[in-house]
């Protein structure tokens, strides 16, 4: 699994003009799943993200976690994170898991985040989504397991 984490001041996802997920501040997670991924990878990533300290304390150091600042998560499935651009001009997505594997694992990942007491909003799997965010910092981190 591959996750692009962006610390956000606010973020939302709309599908066909309808807002399906929104947060006021926290993390936007773009989540990609590949063929070899299992619940073990989802567990590790959810635990890692839940424990990360990416918000500044009173001294300006990244010492506060998501729960410390009352933040939320907006999780968006993103198969294009597994794009292969080595050949040609059009990416191949053969490394991305098929929807019947990716969707349940993405849902499991989101539930695992919730098990840490985190508020998790989501996009809509497989839909054409408009994702809006105000990146805070900017802080962007790539995690992979």
> Among 2, 7, 10, which Cα is nearest to 77's?
2
> Among 91, 72, 79, 88, which Cα is nearest to 37's?
79
Q: Is 34 a catalytic residue?
A: no
80, 93, 132, 140: which is the annotated catalytic residue?
80
Number of H helices, E strands in the chain: 2, 8
* Interatomic CA distance for residues 63 and 6, integer angstroms: 17
6, 41, 78, 122: which is the annotated catalytic residue?
78
Q: Is 14 a catalytic residue?
A: no
Inter-residue contact 10 to 135 (CB < 8 Å): no
Q: Is 125 a catalytic residue?
A: no
34, 41, 55, 79: which is the annotated catalytic residue?
79
Query: Rounded to a whole number, what is the distance in angstroms from the first to the last CA of the chain?
Result: 6
* Interatomic CA distance for residues 43 and 37, integer angstroms: 11
Inter-residue contact 13 to 74 (CB < 8 Å): yes
Q: Give the residue numbers marked as catalytic.
A: 78-80
């Amino acid at each position: 699994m591959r996750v692009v984490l962006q610390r956000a001041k606010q973020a939302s996802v709309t599908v066909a003009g309808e807002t399906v997920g929104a947060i006021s501040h926290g993390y936007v997670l773009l989540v990609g799943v590949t063929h070899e991924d299992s619940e073990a990878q989802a567990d590790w990533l959810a635990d890692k993200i839940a424990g990360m300290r990416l918000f500044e304390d009173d001294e300006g150091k990244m010492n506060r976690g998501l729960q410390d600042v009352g933040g939320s998560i907006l999780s968006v499935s993103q198969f294009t994170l597994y794009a292969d651009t080595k050949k040609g001009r059009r990416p191949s997505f053969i490394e991305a898991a098929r929807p019947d594997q990716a969707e349940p694992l993405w849902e499991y990942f989101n539930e695992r985040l919730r098990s840490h007491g985190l508020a998790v909003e989501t996009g809509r799997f497989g839909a054409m989504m408009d994702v809006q965010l105000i990146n805070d910092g900017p802080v962007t981190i790539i995690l992979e397991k």
